[in-house]
Amino acid sequence: MKKSALQKARAAYQPKLPIALTGPVKVVEGRPTESVADQAAIKALFPNTYGLPEIRFEKNNTPAPGKPVNVGVILSGGQAPGGHNVICGIFDGIKKIHRDSRLFGFLMGPQGLVEHRYIELTAPIIDEYRNTGGFDIIGSGRTKLEKKDQFDKGLEIIRELGISALVIVGGDDSNTNAAILAEYYKANNTGVQVIGCPKTIDGDLKNDVIETSFGFDTATKVYSEVIGNIQRDCNSAKKYWHFIKLMGRSASHIALECALQTQPNVCLISEEIEAKNMSLNDVVAYIADIVATRAADGNNFGTVLIPEGLIEFIPEIKRLIGELNELLGANKEVVAGMSADQLTEFIFGHLSPESIAVLKSLPQDVARQLMLDRDPHGNVQVSLIETEKLLSGMVKEKLQANNDFAACGGKFSPLHHFFGYEGRCADPSNFDADYCYALGYNASALINAGVTGYMSSIRNLVKPAVQWIPGGIPITMMMNIERRNAEDKPVIQKALVRLDGAPFLKFAEQRDDWSHNTCYIYPGPIQYFGPAEVCDQPSMTLKYEHK
Protein backbone atom coordinates (compact mmCIF):
# COMPACT_ATOMS: atom_id res chain seq x y z
CA MET A 1 0.00 0.00 0.00
CA LYS A 2 1.10 3.58 -0.58
CA LYS A 3 2.10 5.53 2.51
CA SER A 4 2.40 9.20 3.36
CA ALA A 5 5.66 10.59 4.69
CA LEU A 6 4.21 10.55 8.21
CA GLN A 7 3.13 6.90 7.87
CA LYS A 8 6.61 5.95 6.72
CA ALA A 9 8.15 7.72 9.70
CA ARG A 10 5.64 6.13 12.07
CA ALA A 11 6.38 2.67 10.68
CA ALA A 12 9.95 3.10 11.87
CA TYR A 13 8.87 4.04 15.41
CA GLN A 14 9.83 1.36 17.94
CA PRO A 15 7.31 1.25 20.80
CA LYS A 16 8.77 1.28 24.28
CA LEU A 17 8.30 -1.77 26.54
CA PRO A 18 8.28 -2.11 30.33
CA ILE A 19 11.70 -3.27 31.44
CA ALA A 20 10.20 -6.51 32.80
CA LEU A 21 9.06 -7.53 29.30
CA THR A 22 12.40 -6.94 27.56
CA GLY A 23 13.54 -10.48 28.35
CA PRO A 24 12.19 -13.76 29.77
CA VAL A 25 9.70 -13.30 32.62
CA LYS A 26 8.64 -15.15 35.72
CA VAL A 27 5.16 -15.16 37.25
CA VAL A 28 4.55 -13.63 40.67
CA GLU A 29 1.09 -14.51 41.99
CA GLY A 30 -0.96 -12.31 44.27
CA ARG A 31 -3.88 -13.28 46.46
CA PRO A 32 -7.04 -14.98 45.14
CA THR A 33 -9.58 -12.50 43.80
CA GLU A 34 -13.34 -12.13 43.90
CA SER A 35 -15.80 -10.32 41.68
CA VAL A 36 -16.57 -6.65 42.25
CA ALA A 37 -20.16 -7.58 43.25
CA ASP A 38 -22.60 -10.50 43.30
CA GLN A 39 -19.81 -12.85 44.35
CA ALA A 40 -21.93 -15.98 44.91
CA ALA A 41 -23.73 -15.62 41.57
CA ILE A 42 -20.54 -14.97 39.57
CA LYS A 43 -18.72 -17.86 41.30
CA ALA A 44 -21.59 -20.21 40.44
CA LEU A 45 -21.47 -19.15 36.79
CA PHE A 46 -17.66 -19.38 36.54
CA PRO A 47 -16.62 -22.28 38.80
CA ASN A 48 -13.45 -23.01 36.81
CA THR A 49 -12.13 -19.47 36.35
CA TYR A 50 -13.34 -17.67 39.49
CA GLY A 51 -11.06 -16.72 42.36
CA LEU A 52 -7.82 -16.78 40.35
CA PRO A 53 -4.92 -14.67 41.64
CA GLU A 54 -3.63 -11.46 40.12
CA ILE A 55 -0.38 -12.00 38.20
CA ARG A 56 2.66 -9.74 37.96
CA PHE A 57 5.61 -10.37 35.66
CA GLU A 58 9.20 -9.86 36.70
CA LYS A 59 12.48 -10.54 34.90
CA ASN A 60 13.52 -14.19 34.90
CA ASN A 61 17.24 -14.87 35.12
CA THR A 62 16.83 -18.67 34.70
CA PRO A 63 14.29 -19.12 31.88
CA ALA A 64 13.26 -22.48 30.45
CA PRO A 65 13.48 -22.91 26.66
CA GLY A 66 10.37 -21.67 24.87
CA LYS A 67 8.08 -23.87 22.78
CA PRO A 68 6.25 -22.94 19.56
CA VAL A 69 2.69 -21.78 20.09
CA ASN A 70 -0.14 -21.08 17.64
CA VAL A 71 -2.31 -18.15 18.67
CA GLY A 72 -5.57 -16.71 17.31
CA VAL A 73 -6.57 -13.06 17.65
CA ILE A 74 -9.97 -11.37 17.30
CA LEU A 75 -10.73 -7.63 17.14
CA SER A 76 -14.22 -7.17 18.59
CA GLY A 77 -16.54 -4.17 18.70
CA GLY A 78 -15.84 -0.61 17.61
CA GLN A 79 -12.44 0.49 16.39
CA ALA A 80 -9.94 2.15 18.73
CA PRO A 81 -6.52 3.65 17.93
CA GLY A 82 -3.70 1.20 18.66
CA GLY A 83 -5.41 -2.08 17.85
CA HIS A 84 -2.80 -2.88 15.21
CA ASN A 85 -0.03 -2.43 17.77
CA VAL A 86 -1.72 -4.93 20.08
CA ILE A 87 -1.50 -7.49 17.27
CA CYS A 88 2.11 -6.49 16.52
CA GLY A 89 2.95 -6.95 20.19
CA ILE A 90 1.39 -10.42 20.27
CA PHE A 91 3.27 -11.38 17.10
CA ASP A 92 6.64 -10.15 18.36
CA GLY A 93 6.01 -11.66 21.78
CA ILE A 94 5.23 -15.19 20.59
CA LYS A 95 8.10 -15.07 18.08
CA LYS A 96 10.41 -14.11 20.95
CA ILE A 97 9.19 -17.18 22.87
CA HIS A 98 9.92 -19.36 19.81
CA ARG A 99 10.57 -18.38 16.21
CA ASP A 100 8.23 -21.11 14.91
CA SER A 101 5.20 -19.67 16.72
CA ARG A 102 2.33 -18.61 14.43
CA LEU A 103 -0.42 -15.99 14.67
CA PHE A 104 -3.83 -16.31 12.99
CA GLY A 105 -6.26 -13.40 12.70
CA PHE A 106 -9.98 -14.16 12.51
CA LEU A 107 -11.68 -11.87 10.03
CA MET A 108 -14.38 -9.31 10.83
CA GLY A 109 -14.62 -10.04 14.53
CA PRO A 110 -15.96 -13.02 16.50
CA GLN A 111 -18.06 -14.12 13.52
CA GLY A 112 -14.80 -14.97 11.73
CA LEU A 113 -14.08 -17.57 14.41
CA VAL A 114 -17.55 -19.07 14.09
CA GLU A 115 -17.46 -19.08 10.28
CA HIS A 116 -13.80 -20.18 10.04
CA ARG A 117 -12.63 -17.10 8.16
CA TYR A 118 -9.03 -16.23 8.94
CA ILE A 119 -5.59 -15.32 7.63
CA GLU A 120 -2.16 -16.14 8.97
CA LEU A 121 -0.44 -12.94 10.04
CA THR A 122 3.13 -13.13 8.81
CA ALA A 123 6.00 -10.68 9.27
CA PRO A 124 5.41 -8.82 5.94
CA ILE A 125 1.74 -8.27 6.86
CA ILE A 126 2.52 -7.22 10.42
CA ASP A 127 5.19 -4.75 9.31
CA GLU A 128 2.68 -2.94 7.08
CA TYR A 129 0.50 -2.09 10.10
CA ARG A 130 2.92 -1.08 12.85
CA ASN A 131 1.86 2.13 14.62
CA THR A 132 -1.11 2.66 12.31
CA GLY A 133 -4.73 3.43 13.20
CA GLY A 134 -7.78 1.36 12.40
CA PHE A 135 -8.61 -2.32 12.59
CA ASP A 136 -8.27 -3.01 8.86
CA ILE A 137 -5.54 -5.64 9.27
CA ILE A 138 -8.30 -8.21 10.00
CA GLY A 139 -11.43 -6.11 10.50
CA SER A 140 -13.81 -6.10 13.44
CA GLY A 141 -17.42 -7.04 14.20
CA ARG A 142 -20.03 -6.97 16.96
CA THR A 143 -21.13 -10.61 17.04
CA LYS A 144 -21.41 -11.80 20.64
CA LEU A 145 -19.88 -15.13 21.61
CA GLU A 146 -22.50 -16.41 24.04
CA LYS A 147 -23.85 -19.73 22.82
CA LYS A 148 -22.60 -23.30 22.97
CA ASP A 149 -22.93 -23.85 19.22
CA GLN A 150 -20.69 -20.78 18.61
CA PHE A 151 -18.09 -22.10 21.06
CA ASP A 152 -18.10 -25.55 19.49
CA LYS A 153 -17.97 -24.20 15.94
CA GLY A 154 -15.00 -22.02 16.88
CA LEU A 155 -13.30 -24.98 18.52
CA GLU A 156 -13.36 -26.85 15.19
CA ILE A 157 -11.12 -24.30 13.43
CA ILE A 158 -9.02 -23.80 16.57
CA ARG A 159 -8.18 -27.50 16.55
CA GLU A 160 -7.67 -27.57 12.79
CA LEU A 161 -5.08 -24.76 13.04
CA GLY A 162 -3.47 -26.17 16.17
CA ILE A 163 -4.30 -23.00 18.11
CA SER A 164 -3.77 -23.25 21.86
CA ALA A 165 -4.62 -19.66 22.84
CA LEU A 166 -7.11 -17.04 21.69
CA VAL A 167 -6.72 -13.30 22.36
CA ILE A 168 -9.93 -11.25 22.25
CA VAL A 169 -9.36 -7.51 21.92
CA GLY A 170 -12.49 -5.62 22.95
CA GLY A 171 -14.50 -3.60 25.43
CA ASP A 172 -16.52 -4.68 28.44
CA ASP A 173 -19.05 -6.77 26.49
CA SER A 174 -16.35 -8.45 24.37
CA ASN A 175 -14.24 -9.26 27.42
CA THR A 176 -17.33 -10.57 29.21
CA ASN A 177 -17.70 -12.93 26.25
CA ALA A 178 -14.00 -13.80 26.59
CA ALA A 179 -14.63 -14.81 30.22
CA ILE A 180 -17.62 -16.95 29.22
CA LEU A 181 -15.59 -18.59 26.44
CA ALA A 182 -12.64 -19.22 28.80
CA GLU A 183 -14.96 -20.86 31.32
CA TYR A 184 -16.54 -23.10 28.67
CA TYR A 185 -13.21 -24.21 27.18
CA LYS A 186 -11.79 -24.82 30.66
CA ALA A 187 -14.85 -26.77 31.82
CA ASN A 188 -14.60 -29.01 28.77
CA ASN A 189 -10.84 -29.56 29.07
CA THR A 190 -10.16 -28.28 25.55
CA GLY A 191 -6.70 -26.99 26.44
CA VAL A 192 -7.49 -23.63 24.79
CA GLN A 193 -6.52 -20.49 26.71
CA VAL A 194 -8.52 -17.26 26.34
CA ILE A 195 -6.90 -13.88 27.08
CA GLY A 196 -8.67 -10.50 26.94
CA CYS A 197 -7.30 -7.07 26.07
CA PRO A 198 -8.96 -3.79 27.29
CA LYS A 199 -10.13 -1.68 24.35
CA THR A 200 -12.62 1.16 24.15
CA ILE A 201 -12.26 4.85 23.40
CA ASP A 202 -15.16 5.51 25.81
CA GLY A 203 -12.82 4.91 28.77
CA ASP A 204 -15.42 2.90 30.72
CA LEU A 205 -13.38 -0.32 30.91
CA LYS A 206 -11.12 0.48 33.83
CA ASN A 207 -10.76 -0.07 37.57
CA ASP A 208 -8.05 -0.20 40.21
CA VAL A 209 -6.02 -2.71 38.17
CA ILE A 210 -6.90 -1.71 34.57
CA GLU A 211 -5.86 1.93 34.66
CA THR A 212 -7.20 2.84 31.22
CA SER A 213 -8.49 1.20 28.08
CA PHE A 214 -6.47 1.71 24.93
CA GLY A 215 -7.64 4.21 22.34
CA PHE A 216 -9.01 6.68 24.90
CA ASP A 217 -5.82 8.75 24.91
CA THR A 218 -5.67 9.14 21.12
CA ALA A 219 -9.39 9.69 20.56
CA THR A 220 -9.68 12.41 23.19
CA LYS A 221 -6.62 14.17 21.78
CA VAL A 222 -8.17 14.08 18.30
CA TYR A 223 -11.49 15.42 19.56
CA SER A 224 -9.77 18.06 21.69
CA GLU A 225 -7.80 19.29 18.69
CA VAL A 226 -11.02 19.84 16.73
CA ILE A 227 -12.84 21.36 19.71
CA GLY A 228 -9.90 23.73 20.10
CA ASN A 229 -10.15 24.66 16.42
CA ILE A 230 -13.87 25.35 16.83
CA GLN A 231 -13.23 27.44 19.93
CA ARG A 232 -10.61 29.50 18.08
CA ASP A 233 -13.17 30.11 15.33
CA CYS A 234 -15.84 30.78 17.94
CA ASN A 235 -13.66 33.38 19.65
CA SER A 236 -12.86 34.94 16.27
CA ALA A 237 -16.42 35.21 14.86
CA LYS A 238 -18.00 35.90 18.29
CA LYS A 239 -21.52 35.06 17.09
CA TYR A 240 -22.15 31.30 17.39
CA TRP A 241 -22.87 28.80 20.15
CA HIS A 242 -21.41 25.42 19.21
CA PHE A 243 -23.18 22.37 20.65
CA ILE A 244 -20.74 19.46 20.37
CA LYS A 245 -21.82 15.89 21.07
CA LEU A 246 -19.01 13.47 21.88
CA MET A 247 -18.71 9.69 21.95
CA GLY A 248 -19.47 8.02 25.26
CA ARG A 249 -22.76 6.21 25.58
CA SER A 250 -22.39 4.75 29.05
CA ALA A 251 -19.97 7.16 30.68
CA SER A 252 -18.82 10.76 30.29
CA HIS A 253 -15.06 10.15 30.42
CA ILE A 254 -14.48 11.50 26.89
CA ALA A 255 -16.45 14.70 27.53
CA LEU A 256 -14.66 15.21 30.86
CA GLU A 257 -11.20 14.64 29.37
CA CYS A 258 -11.91 16.97 26.44
CA ALA A 259 -13.18 19.63 28.86
CA LEU A 260 -9.97 19.39 30.89
CA GLN A 261 -7.98 19.79 27.68
CA THR A 262 -9.96 22.65 26.11
CA GLN A 263 -11.89 24.50 28.88
CA PRO A 264 -15.28 25.01 27.16
CA ASN A 265 -18.04 27.23 28.51
CA VAL A 266 -20.28 24.27 29.31
CA CYS A 267 -19.59 20.57 29.71
CA LEU A 268 -22.41 18.29 30.82
CA ILE A 269 -21.44 15.23 32.86
CA SER A 270 -24.17 12.60 32.64
CA GLU A 271 -23.30 10.99 35.97
CA GLU A 272 -23.65 14.33 37.79
CA ILE A 273 -27.00 15.05 36.17
CA GLU A 274 -28.29 11.68 37.35
CA ALA A 275 -26.87 12.12 40.85
CA LYS A 276 -28.52 15.54 41.17
CA ASN A 277 -31.80 14.16 39.77
CA MET A 278 -31.89 16.92 37.17
CA SER A 279 -34.78 16.92 34.73
CA LEU A 280 -34.43 17.75 31.05
CA ASN A 281 -35.80 21.21 31.84
CA ASP A 282 -33.19 21.63 34.59
CA VAL A 283 -30.40 20.86 32.11
CA VAL A 284 -31.84 23.31 29.59
CA ALA A 285 -32.17 26.02 32.25
CA TYR A 286 -28.53 25.51 33.31
CA ILE A 287 -27.27 26.06 29.74
CA ALA A 288 -29.66 28.96 29.10
CA ASP A 289 -28.49 30.78 32.25
CA ILE A 290 -24.86 30.58 31.09
CA VAL A 291 -25.81 31.81 27.60
CA ALA A 292 -27.73 34.72 29.12
CA THR A 293 -24.91 35.62 31.54
CA ARG A 294 -22.36 35.69 28.73
CA ALA A 295 -24.73 37.74 26.57
CA ALA A 296 -25.02 40.33 29.35
CA ASP A 297 -21.24 40.71 29.10
CA GLY A 298 -21.47 41.12 25.33
CA ASN A 299 -20.38 37.55 24.53
CA ASN A 300 -22.95 35.95 22.25
CA PHE A 301 -20.83 32.88 21.62
CA GLY A 302 -19.61 29.76 23.38
CA THR A 303 -19.13 26.00 23.33
CA VAL A 304 -21.16 23.23 24.95
CA LEU A 305 -19.82 19.64 25.27
CA ILE A 306 -22.46 16.91 25.48
CA PRO A 307 -21.83 13.20 26.18
CA GLU A 308 -23.44 10.91 23.64
CA GLY A 309 -25.37 8.98 26.32
CA LEU A 310 -26.69 12.02 28.23
CA ILE A 311 -30.32 11.27 27.43
CA GLU A 312 -30.12 7.93 29.29
CA PHE A 313 -28.87 9.58 32.49
CA ILE A 314 -31.68 12.13 32.86
CA PRO A 315 -33.71 10.32 35.57
CA GLU A 316 -37.17 10.71 34.06
CA ILE A 317 -35.93 9.52 30.66
CA LYS A 318 -33.81 6.75 32.22
CA ARG A 319 -36.95 5.38 33.89
CA LEU A 320 -38.78 5.60 30.56
CA ILE A 321 -35.98 3.75 28.73
CA GLY A 322 -35.86 1.12 31.50
CA GLU A 323 -39.59 0.50 31.13
CA LEU A 324 -39.28 0.33 27.34
CA ASN A 325 -36.36 -2.12 27.53
CA GLU A 326 -38.19 -4.37 29.98
CA LEU A 327 -41.46 -4.22 28.05
CA LEU A 328 -39.96 -4.90 24.63
CA GLY A 329 -37.44 -7.44 25.96
CA ALA A 330 -40.15 -9.47 27.71
CA ASN A 331 -42.46 -9.36 24.68
CA LYS A 332 -40.10 -10.07 21.78
CA GLU A 333 -42.43 -12.55 20.11
CA VAL A 334 -45.50 -10.37 20.65
CA VAL A 335 -43.98 -7.25 19.04
CA ALA A 336 -42.15 -9.09 16.24
CA GLY A 337 -43.62 -8.06 12.90
CA MET A 338 -45.68 -5.18 14.30
CA SER A 339 -45.94 -2.05 12.20
CA ALA A 340 -44.66 1.22 13.68
CA ASP A 341 -48.22 2.33 14.47
CA GLN A 342 -49.09 -1.00 16.10
CA LEU A 343 -45.91 -0.96 18.18
CA THR A 344 -46.57 2.62 19.30
CA GLU A 345 -50.10 1.67 20.35
CA PHE A 346 -48.78 -1.38 22.21
CA ILE A 347 -46.17 0.70 24.06
CA PHE A 348 -48.63 3.40 25.12
CA GLY A 349 -50.96 0.67 26.36
CA HIS A 350 -48.38 -0.80 28.72
CA LEU A 351 -46.21 2.04 30.05
CA SER A 352 -46.76 3.73 33.42
CA PRO A 353 -48.65 7.06 33.34
CA GLU A 354 -45.44 8.89 34.36
CA SER A 355 -43.45 7.45 31.44
CA ILE A 356 -46.28 8.16 29.00
CA ALA A 357 -46.24 11.80 30.12
CA VAL A 358 -42.46 12.01 29.58
CA LEU A 359 -42.76 10.39 26.14
CA LYS A 360 -45.46 12.86 25.10
CA SER A 361 -43.36 15.82 26.29
CA LEU A 362 -40.47 14.96 23.95
CA PRO A 363 -40.18 16.10 20.33
CA GLN A 364 -41.88 13.57 18.07
CA ASP A 365 -38.68 12.40 16.36
CA VAL A 366 -36.91 11.80 19.71
CA ALA A 367 -39.91 9.88 21.07
CA ARG A 368 -39.94 7.76 17.93
CA GLN A 369 -36.23 6.96 18.26
CA LEU A 370 -36.70 5.85 21.87
CA MET A 371 -39.58 3.57 20.97
CA LEU A 372 -38.70 2.20 17.56
CA ASP A 373 -35.02 2.59 16.69
CA ARG A 374 -33.22 -0.24 18.51
CA ASP A 375 -29.89 -1.96 17.87
CA PRO A 376 -29.68 -5.77 17.37
CA HIS A 377 -29.41 -6.23 21.15
CA GLY A 378 -32.60 -4.26 21.84
CA ASN A 379 -30.85 -1.11 23.11
CA VAL A 380 -31.82 2.47 22.35
CA GLN A 381 -29.47 3.81 19.68
CA VAL A 382 -28.55 6.94 21.58
CA SER A 383 -25.91 7.96 19.03
CA LEU A 384 -28.77 8.50 16.56
CA ILE A 385 -30.63 10.82 18.92
CA GLU A 386 -29.52 14.34 18.10
CA THR A 387 -29.23 15.46 21.72
CA GLU A 388 -27.23 18.50 20.67
CA LYS A 389 -30.14 19.76 18.53
CA LEU A 390 -32.72 18.81 21.16
CA LEU A 391 -30.93 20.87 23.80
CA SER A 392 -30.16 23.88 21.59
CA GLY A 393 -33.78 24.01 20.42
CA MET A 394 -35.08 23.97 24.00
CA VAL A 395 -32.48 26.56 25.08
CA LYS A 396 -33.61 28.82 22.25
CA GLU A 397 -37.25 28.58 23.39
CA LYS A 398 -36.28 29.42 26.97
CA LEU A 399 -34.20 32.42 25.88
CA GLN A 400 -37.02 33.73 23.70
CA ALA A 401 -39.17 33.86 26.84
CA ASN A 402 -36.44 35.76 28.72
CA ASN A 403 -37.06 39.53 28.33
CA ASP A 404 -33.75 40.41 29.99
CA PHE A 405 -31.88 38.39 27.35
CA ALA A 406 -33.37 40.43 24.51
CA ALA A 407 -33.00 43.70 26.40
CA CYS A 408 -29.22 43.26 26.80
CA GLY A 409 -28.80 42.56 23.08
CA GLY A 410 -28.57 38.83 23.52
CA LYS A 411 -28.41 36.70 20.39
CA PHE A 412 -28.37 32.92 20.18
CA SER A 413 -27.20 31.28 16.96
CA PRO A 414 -26.48 27.57 17.55
CA LEU A 415 -24.35 25.29 15.38
CA HIS A 416 -24.13 21.52 15.85
CA HIS A 417 -21.42 18.85 15.68
CA PHE A 418 -21.02 15.18 16.56
CA PHE A 419 -17.48 13.86 16.95
CA GLY A 420 -17.44 10.08 16.85
CA TYR A 421 -15.90 8.23 13.96
CA GLU A 422 -13.25 10.93 13.58
CA GLY A 423 -11.40 9.61 16.62
CA ARG A 424 -11.78 5.84 16.33
CA CYS A 425 -9.16 5.07 13.66
CA ALA A 426 -6.57 7.83 14.11
CA ASP A 427 -2.89 6.91 14.15
CA PRO A 428 -2.22 6.19 17.83
CA SER A 429 -0.49 8.73 20.01
CA ASN A 430 2.92 7.70 21.32
CA PHE A 431 1.23 6.75 24.58
CA ASP A 432 -1.29 4.46 22.85
CA ALA A 433 1.35 3.08 20.46
CA ASP A 434 3.50 2.09 23.44
CA TYR A 435 0.60 0.96 25.64
CA CYS A 436 -1.01 -1.19 22.96
CA TYR A 437 2.25 -2.83 21.95
CA ALA A 438 2.94 -3.60 25.62
CA LEU A 439 -0.58 -5.02 26.08
CA GLY A 440 -0.07 -7.38 23.13
CA TYR A 441 3.44 -8.38 24.15
CA ASN A 442 2.17 -8.94 27.69
CA ALA A 443 -0.64 -11.14 26.33
CA SER A 444 2.02 -13.40 24.82
CA ALA A 445 3.60 -13.68 28.28
CA LEU A 446 0.22 -14.66 29.76
CA ILE A 447 -0.11 -17.32 27.06
CA ASN A 448 3.38 -18.60 27.84
CA ALA A 449 2.41 -18.72 31.53
CA GLY A 450 -0.43 -21.11 30.65
CA VAL A 451 -3.26 -19.09 32.21
CA THR A 452 -6.80 -18.54 30.91
CA GLY A 453 -9.64 -16.15 31.70
CA TYR A 454 -7.20 -13.26 32.26
CA MET A 455 -7.07 -9.72 30.89
CA SER A 456 -3.72 -8.26 29.87
CA SER A 457 -2.83 -5.54 32.36
CA ILE A 458 -0.17 -2.83 32.22
CA ARG A 459 -0.02 -0.58 35.31
CA ASN A 460 1.90 2.45 36.60
CA LEU A 461 1.02 4.24 33.35
CA VAL A 462 1.79 7.79 34.50
CA LYS A 463 5.45 6.83 34.73
CA PRO A 464 7.82 6.39 31.74
CA ALA A 465 7.07 3.21 29.79
CA VAL A 466 10.15 1.39 31.08
CA GLN A 467 8.65 1.61 34.59
CA TRP A 468 5.26 0.18 33.63
CA ILE A 469 4.21 -2.98 35.50
CA PRO A 470 3.00 -5.89 33.33
CA GLY A 471 0.74 -8.70 34.49
CA GLY A 472 -2.70 -10.25 34.27
CA ILE A 473 -6.05 -9.75 35.98
CA PRO A 474 -8.79 -12.43 36.18
CA ILE A 475 -11.70 -11.13 34.11
CA THR A 476 -14.22 -12.47 36.65
CA MET A 477 -12.73 -10.01 39.17
CA MET A 478 -14.41 -7.14 37.24
CA MET A 479 -17.86 -8.72 36.90
CA ASN A 480 -21.29 -8.24 38.42
CA ILE A 481 -24.88 -9.13 37.53
CA GLU A 482 -26.89 -6.57 35.54
CA ARG A 483 -30.31 -6.48 33.94
CA ARG A 484 -29.87 -6.65 30.17
CA ASN A 485 -32.80 -6.90 27.75
CA ALA A 486 -35.16 -8.24 30.45
CA GLU A 487 -32.62 -10.84 31.68
CA ASP A 488 -30.04 -10.96 34.48
CA LYS A 489 -26.59 -11.29 32.91
CA PRO A 490 -22.99 -11.53 34.17
CA VAL A 491 -21.11 -8.54 32.75
CA ILE A 492 -17.98 -6.52 33.41
CA GLN A 493 -19.01 -3.55 35.51
CA LYS A 494 -18.74 -0.31 33.54
CA ALA A 495 -16.57 2.41 35.05
CA LEU A 496 -18.56 5.64 35.22
CA VAL A 497 -17.18 9.08 36.02
CA ARG A 498 -16.68 9.23 39.78
CA LEU A 499 -18.00 12.49 41.16
CA ASP A 500 -15.56 12.20 44.07
CA GLY A 501 -12.67 11.43 41.71
CA ALA A 502 -9.79 13.82 41.09
CA PRO A 503 -10.53 14.47 37.37
CA PHE A 504 -14.14 15.53 38.03
CA LEU A 505 -13.21 17.57 41.10
CA LYS A 506 -10.56 19.42 39.08
CA PHE A 507 -13.17 20.18 36.41
CA ALA A 508 -15.81 21.23 38.95
CA GLU A 509 -13.32 23.58 40.61
CA GLN A 510 -12.81 25.55 37.39
CA ARG A 511 -16.03 25.31 35.38
CA ASP A 512 -17.71 28.44 36.77
CA ASP A 513 -14.77 30.50 35.57
CA TRP A 514 -14.87 28.77 32.17
CA SER A 515 -18.63 29.36 31.82
CA HIS A 516 -18.55 33.12 32.34
CA ASN A 517 -15.14 33.94 30.91
CA THR A 518 -13.46 32.90 27.69
CA CYS A 519 -10.68 30.59 28.91
CA TYR A 520 -10.27 28.40 25.85
CA ILE A 521 -7.23 26.19 25.33
CA TYR A 522 -6.25 25.15 21.80
CA PRO A 523 -4.38 21.82 22.17
CA GLY A 524 -3.46 21.42 18.49
CA PRO A 525 -2.75 18.10 16.73
CA ILE A 526 -1.14 15.01 18.23
CA GLN A 527 2.66 15.31 18.23
CA TYR A 528 4.76 12.24 17.47
CA PHE A 529 8.26 13.69 17.44
CA GLY A 530 9.92 15.99 19.95
CA PRO A 531 10.44 16.23 23.70
CA ALA A 532 8.64 13.71 25.93
CA GLU A 533 6.58 16.42 27.63
CA VAL A 534 5.03 17.22 24.24
CA CYS A 535 4.79 13.74 22.70
CA ASP A 536 4.53 11.04 25.38
CA GLN A 537 2.12 12.41 27.96
CA PRO A 538 -0.90 10.31 29.02
CA SER A 539 -4.41 11.75 29.29
CA MET A 540 -5.17 14.36 31.95
CA THR A 541 -7.70 11.95 33.43
CA LEU A 542 -4.95 9.38 34.02
CA LYS A 543 -2.63 12.01 35.48
CA TYR A 544 -5.21 13.29 37.97
CA GLU A 545 -6.33 9.78 38.94
CA HIS A 546 -2.78 8.70 39.77
CA LYS A 547 -1.22 11.86 41.16
* pLDDT tens digits, one per residue of 291-345: 999 999 999 999 999 999 999 999 999 999 889 888 888 888 888 888 988 989 9
The residue-averaged pLDDT of 135-146 equals 95
372 pLDDT more than 80: no
| Whether residue 541 sits in one domain with residue 439 | no
Q: What is the CATH number of the domain that holds 199?
A: 3.40.50.450
pLDDT average, residue stretch 3-11 = 91
92 is catalytic: no
Give CA–CA dist 428/425, Å, rounded.
8
Q: What is the pLDDT of residue 429?
A: 98
Mean pLDDT of 52-56: 97
State residue 438's pLDDT score.
98
How do the residues of the chain divide into helix, strand and coil, expressed in percent and rounded to 5? 45, 15, 35
In terms of domains, do 448 and 532 share one?
no
Q: Residue range 244-257: average pLDDT?
A: 95
Give residue-wise pLDDT tens across range 468-488: 999 999 999 999 999 887 789
Mean pLDDT of 223-245: 98
Report the CATH number at residue 513. 3.40.50.460
Strands 302-307 vs 266-267: parallel, antiparallel or unpaired: parallel
What is the domain extent for residue 406?
217-274+298-307+402-424+491-547
pLDDT at 184: 97
**Would 148 be classed as within a structural domain?**
yes
| Same domain, residue pair 152 and 192 | yes
CB 128 within 8 A of CB 94: no
In a domain, 349, yes or no: no
**Helices 353-361 and 364-372, packing angle to 10 deg:** 130
470 lies in some domain: yes
Residue 446 and residue 416 share a domain: no
What pLDDT, on the 0 to 100 scale, is given for residue 117? 98
Are 139 and 203 contained in the same domain? yes
Same domain, 245 and 120: no
| 197-211 pLDDT tens trace | 999 999 999 998 899
Answer whether residue 392 is part of any domain: no
pLDDT of residue 376: 58
If asked whether residues 77 and 223 sit together in one domain, one would say no
Query: Residue 91 pLDDT more than 70?
Result: yes
CA 461 to chain centre: 18
Mean pLDDT, residues 119-141 taken together: 97
Q: What is the largest CA-CA distance in the chain?
A: 81
How many domains does the structure of the chain reveal?
2
**What pLDDT was estimated at residue 483?**
87
pLDDT confidence of residue 369? 83
**Candidates 173, 202, 217, 427; catalytic one:** 202
Question: Would you state the pLDDT for residue 370?
Answer: 84
Residue 378: Cβ-neighbour burial (10 angstroms; 0-12, 13-18, 19+): middle
Q: Are residues 124 and 268 in the same domain?
A: no
Mean pLDDT, residues 506-530 taken together: 97
Statement: residue 378 has pLDDT above 70: no
The answer to whether 509 and 484 are in contact (CB under 8 A) is no
Say if 330 falls within a structural domain: no
pLDDT at 486 (0 to 100): 74
Q: What is the pLDDT of residue 330?
A: 85
pTM of the predicted structure, to 2 decimals: 0.94
Mean pLDDT of 226-230: 98
Q: Mean pLDDT in the chain? A: 95
Report whether pLDDT(493) > 70. yes
Average pLDDT over residues 59-72: 93
- Which percentage of the chain shows pLDDT scores above 90? 86
Residue 377 pLDDT > 60, yes or no? Answer: no
Rounded to whole angstroms, the Cα distance separating 175 from 168 reads: 7
Distances in Å between the Cα of 242 and the Cα atoms of 120, 253, 354 are 47, 20, 33
Whether residue 541 is found in the same domain as residue 468: no
The pLDDT of residue 108: 98
Q: What is the pLDDT of residue 485?
A: 73
Q: Residue 291: inside a domain, yes or no?
A: no
